[in-house]
Structure 1
Amino acid sequence: MSREAYQVPSMGAQNAFGTDAGFGGAMAVDNPSVVYLCGECSARVPLKRGDQIRCKDCGHRVLYKERTKRMVQFEAR
């Protein structure tokens, strides 16, 4: 029985679903910001992943997610 040495998978490898297996995929390149509203001064605060949850104007830590402008329609039965 021959034993092969373990090889670390490369970052470009794909998993079973056909997407990038590493953390350096499309999500890291396209890092969108989400706009929140400050609970104290009502300023619009864009936040990206990893940013501190804090208003950049007044320093308040309570932020509310902005409502969607997309039309949402439900079917009544």
Structure 2
Amino acid sequence: MSREAYQVPSMGGGQNGFGADNGFSAMAVDSPSVVYLCGECSARVPLKRGDQIRCKDCGHRVLYKERTKRMVQFQAR
């Protein structure tokens, strides 16, 4: 009984799922940024998908999402 050595499946062209050609790099450029507030210095930090979660002014890593400006209304019953 002969055994063949295990071979890692290829993803067509030798690219792994973590390379630059996986489609996520182009999506990060086109995605809109969301503005967060820094928990340390209260600076407004715009972040896009894939950006590091870090304040660009002080380097603090706790960011809070800004409150929405549109009217939210609930009906009481």
Helix, strand or coil at the partner of 2:73: coil
In the TM superposition, what is the alpha-carbon distance from 1:37 to its structure 2 partner? 0.1
Give % identity: 91
Count of equivalent residues = 76
Gaps of 5+ in 2: none
Q: Secondary structure at the match of 1:36?
A: strand
- 8 Å CA contact 2:38, 2:64 repeated in 1: yes
* Residues 66 and 20 (structure 1), Cα distance of their counterparts in 2 relative to 1, 3 Å cut: same
1:14 aligned counterpart, secondary structure: coil
* TM-score in terms of structure 1 length: 0.63
Q: The residue matched to 2:17 in structure 1 has which SS?
A: coil
Root-mean-square deviation (Å): 6.3
Offset of 1:27 from its aligned partner? Answer: 5.6
Task: Give the 3-state SS of the residue equivalent to 1:45 in structure 2.
Answer: strand
Unaligned runs of 5+ in 1: none
Residues 33 and 3 (structure 1 numbering): CA distance in 2 closer, same or farther, change over 3 Å? farther
> What is the CA–CA distance in structure 2 between the aligned matches of 1:57 and 1:76, rounded to whole Å?
43
Give, in angstroms, the shift of residue 17 of structure 1: 27
C-alpha distance in 2 between matches for 1:62 and 1:16: 29
Report the equivalent of 1:57: 57
**TM-score between the two structures when normalised by the length of structure 2:** 0.63
Runs of 4+ aligned structure 1 residues displaced above 3 Å come to 1-23, 25-30
Q: Deviations over 1:1-27 (max 9, x none)?
A: 99999999999999999999987x996
